[in-house]
Amino acid sequence: VKDVRTVGQLGKTHLKLRLVDGHRTWSAIAFGRGEEAALLSPGMYIDVVHSLAANTWNGLVSLELQMHDWRES
């Protein structure tokens, strides 16, 4: 885990992370799981179940991991 924060209405709806796999930094989001931010911290190692999705924001398209589940490694 490189970075973790919450996003969405009132800033706490979704979990937004930057994850590093040793070679690349990935943007990741876990919809409806903002309350889990307190369980994660930078430098932590986690295993992630995800799907790869196109994220469109302000007209820009990027790849993003949509997290379905995670656990500490």
* Predicted local distance difference test score (pLDDT) of residue 57: 87
φ/ψ (deg, to 5) at 2: -95, -35
Task: Note the pTM of the prediction, 2 decimals.
Answer: 0.86
Residues of the chain short of pLDDT 50, as ranges, are none
